[in-house]
Structure 1
Amino acid sequence: MALDIKEKSGKKRRRIPKELIYEMRHGSPIYYRDYDKVLSGEKTLEEVMGSSKLQAFIIALIVGYLPSKINNNKYLILTNEAGFQWAPRTWRNLDIAIFDKKKLLKEGINDKYAKTPPEVVIEVDTKADLKKYGDFMNYQREKTQDLLNAGVKKVIWYTTFDKKVMVAEKGKRWFITDWDDTINVFDNMKLNLNELLEKEIQD
C-alpha cells in the first residue's frame, strides 16, 4: 500500500509506500531518512531502515547493561524500535523503552504497538527524515515533548554527532551534557555511556 502525497494545489505528486513511514504524528507521516532516494532507486528500503554501526553498538551496550541494574521482576526492557501508540494515527518508534512490567503485561503481549507509556525512553540519534524540521534539534524536541505529554516519565537522548546526551523530565528543567557525565536513569540507577564504551573497547 502507498500514500498519495499531494501538493498545495491538490494534485497528486507521487505515491509513497507505507513501508517508508518511520513514525506518525496526528495523521502526518514522518518518513525514514533518505526515503526519497528509495523512491528514485538510489537506495533500498533496507538501507534506510538500518542502523549505523555506532548507533547499533551504543544501543546494544545500553541494553546489555540495564538488566543487571534494574529490578527485572518489576520492569521490562523493550528495544528494536519498539512502537508506542498513545492516540489515533499517532505513534513513535523507541530505541530502548523501560516499562512497568505489570502494566504492560496487563495490556497484553501481542503484535500491536504498546499503548502503556514507558517509564523511561532512551534514544540514540534517529532514522527520521529531518527535511521538514530544518534540523535534528527541532525533531528531537518535538518527539521528546510528545512522549512526555503521553505519560513517559523521562526521555534520555544520546547523539553521536556531538557526543552529547539530553535528559528531559516532565515538569523539570531539561538539560544537555556530555557522554562522560553520569546520568540517573531512574530509581537511582546510574548510566555513564563513556565509561561503558571505554570498558568495551579495552576488553
Structure 2
Amino acid sequence: MAIAYDAPRRPAPKPRRKIPDSLIYEIMDGKPVYRKGYRDVLSGIKTVEEIMGASTLQSIIISHLMKVIFGFLDEDKYFVLTGESGVHLDHRNNLANDIAIYDQTVLTPAKISKKYSDVPPLLAIEIDIEADSEGMTENGYIYKKTRKLFYFGVHKIIWVLTDAQVVLIATPDRTETVDWNKDVEIMDGHTFNIGAYLVRKGITITEL
C-alpha cells in the first residue's frame, strides 16, 4: 500500500519590519526616501533624535546664510523658511528644503497653513544630503531632487556639501560646482563665502 507523505513546506517569509514614519525624510515618485542613518536606528545603534539633528558645522553654516539673506532681503516682498521646510510638488512627491526663499506674491497669505507649501520657492538652499540615497548615488540623488524642483518652478538651487567643501549652484540652464572658498551669489548680486566665513571665525575643517 502506497503511503502518502506531505511535501516539505517552505518556511513562511518573515514579515518586513515596518519602518516608522519618523524616519521618512521625503517622498519621491511615490516611494519613501529615508533619513541618512535610518538603518542604525532600526538596528538600535542610534536613536531617531541622533540622526535628525544637524551637526554644529551644518548649523553654523545655516545660521550664517540666514544672516546674509536677512541682511539684504526685503521682508515685505519675500518669506524665508527654514527647518526642513516641506514642499508638496504633487501626490507622489513631497520634498524638504533647508532654506527656501519665497516671493510673497506666490506664497500668499491664503497659502500659509499647517500643510506643506504647494507653490515653488524662488530659491532653495541645501546643506549636505540628509537622505539615504539607497538605490542611487549621492550625486544621482542631488540631480534628481534638483530636476524635480526645477520642474516645479524653482529658479535656483544651491547645495553646500561639507565633506567635499564645495558649493553646487544650479539653474535650469546651468550647473556649476565651485570650491567653497569662492564667492557664491545668492540673488541680486549678493554673495556668501563659506570658506572665508569659517576662517574669520577660526574654524578649521579637516578635508576628508
Both proteins in one fold, TM over 0.5: yes
TM range (shorter): 0.7 to 0.9
Instruction: Write the deviation string for residues 24-79 of structure 1: whole angstroms up to 9, x where unpaired.
Output: 01210000111122112111111111111111111111112211112221111100
- Distance in 2 (alpha carbons) for counterparts of 1:38 and 1:63: 31
- Distance in 2 (alpha carbons) for counterparts of 1:195 and 1:59: 15
- Distance in 2 (alpha carbons) for counterparts of 1:163 and 1:36: 26
Corresponding residue number in structure 2 for 1:142: 144
- Distance in 2 (alpha carbons) for counterparts of 1:173 and 1:116: 23
- Sequence identity, in percent? 36
- Distance in 2 (alpha carbons) for counterparts of 1:15 and 1:71: 46
- TM score, norm. by length of structure 1: 0.88
Matches within 5 A, 1:171-190: 172-190=173-191
Q: Tell me the SS of whatever aligns to 2:19.
A: strand
Unpaired runs of 5+ residues, structure 2, are 1-12, 204-208
Instruction: Write the deviation string for residues 123-167 of structure 1: whole angstroms up to 9, x where unpaired.
Output: 11021112321x321111111111111110000111001110111
Unpaired runs of 5+ residues, structure 1, are 1-9
- Distance in 1 (alpha carbons) for counterparts of 2:94 and 2:15: 25
What is the aligned length? 191
RMSD: 1.7
Q: 1:11 offset after TM fit, Å?
A: 7.5
Corresponding residue number in structure 2 for 1:163: 165
2:100 to 75, 97, 102: 97
- Distance in 1 (alpha carbons) for counterparts of 2:202 and 2:70: 21
Q: Rg larger in 1 or in 2?
A: 2
Matches within 5 A, 1:63-82: 63-82=66-85
- TM score, norm. by length of structure 2: 0.86
**Which range is displaced more, 159-168 or 178-187?**
178-187
**Which range is displaced more, 78-87 or 104-113?**
104-113
Q: Given residue 153 of structure 1, which amino acid in structure 2 is its aligned partner? A: H
- Distance in 2 (alpha carbons) for counterparts of 1:198 and 1:110: 40
Corresponding residue number in structure 1 for 2:121: 118
- Of Structure 1 and Structure 2, the greater strand share is in 1
Q: 1:183 offset after TM fit, Å?
A: 1.6
- Distance in 1 (alpha carbons) for counterparts of 2:59 and 2:133: 20
Corresponding residue number in structure 1 for 2:43: 40
CA contact (8 A) 2:89 2:95 kept: no
Instruction: Write the deviation string for residues 67-106 of structure 1: whole angstroms up to 9, x where unpaired.
Output: 1112221111100110011101311110000000232124
